[in-house]
Amino acid sequence: MSAALLEEQKKGLKAVILATENERQRIAKDLLAGIGQTLSGIKLGLSKFTADLPNDNQKEYSNILNFVDEACTEVRAISHQMMPKALKENGLVSAIEDMLNKSLAISKVEYSFNQIGLDEGRFDEVLEIGLFRITQELINNIIKHSGATKVDVQISKTQKHLVLLVEDNGKGFKFDEKRDGIGLMNMKSRANTFNGEVNYETELNKGTVATIRVPLHD
């Protein structure tokens, strides 16, 4: 395949990524403005009847309020995942830190986050979106499947590369192309739009290390 054709494919992928992110933002806004506000209204309306309920019904009523409150929290969490405000306003490092705090802290997983050499400046929009979504997918996989109690995330910038490293102390896995291939393929597809590489090091009961290396251009 010629270099020109490869470049055109990358341009097409970047356009798709940006269009997808715009659609995510639209859905997230609609979710908060629609279902989120409706649930908040229901919660407010129900809370007004607390004093008028018989004591026998107080516990059942309290449970209903808790369910509504949990639904509100879930809607906000989904909306945040779809439209990370920190990424748009403050950049990649801030967005990753915010995402880790909201996801791993809630899951009661110990974590550390370090950044090296990224004190100033922003990166290309597609690069920031891509690395954020890759990190998000890695963290979601850790929470759902690894059984990890500790996660270390590091993003560093050298003269030639931007490197993202995500390591967990979970149960690891034996790679199965049929089972694990789609998720890895999605991450590699994202990384490919900015010439990045995705590598996994994993072993049963010895955790997993995922490394994403992106070349930087002057």
Query: How would DSSP label each residue in 107-121?
Result: TT-EEEEEEES-SS-
**Is the dihedral angle over the CA atoms 51, 53, 58, 62 positive or is it negative?**
negative
Rounded Cα gap, residues 100 and 30, in angstroms: 24
Distant-in-sequence, close-in-space partners of 152: CB < 8 Å, separation ≥ 6: 111, 112, 114, 165, 166, 167, 168
Span between the terminal Cα atoms of the chain, in Å: 26
User: What pLDDT is attached to residue 184?
Assistant: 76
- For domain 91-215, the CATH superfamily is Histidine kinase-like ATPase, C-terminal domain (3.30.565.10)
Gyration radius from the chain CA atoms: 21
DSSP state of 83: S
Residue-by-residue pLDDT tens, the chain, 218 positions: 566 665 655 565 555 555 665 566 666 555 555 565 666 666 666 666 665 666 666 667 677 777 777 766 666 666 555 566 778 788 889 889 988 988 887 778 899 999 998 876 788 888 888 898 899 889 888 888 888 999 999 999 988 899 999 999 998 877 664 455 567 777 887 888 888 899 988 888 889 999 999 998 75
User: What pLDDT is attached to residue 42?
Assistant: 65
User: What pLDDT is attached to residue 153?
Assistant: 96
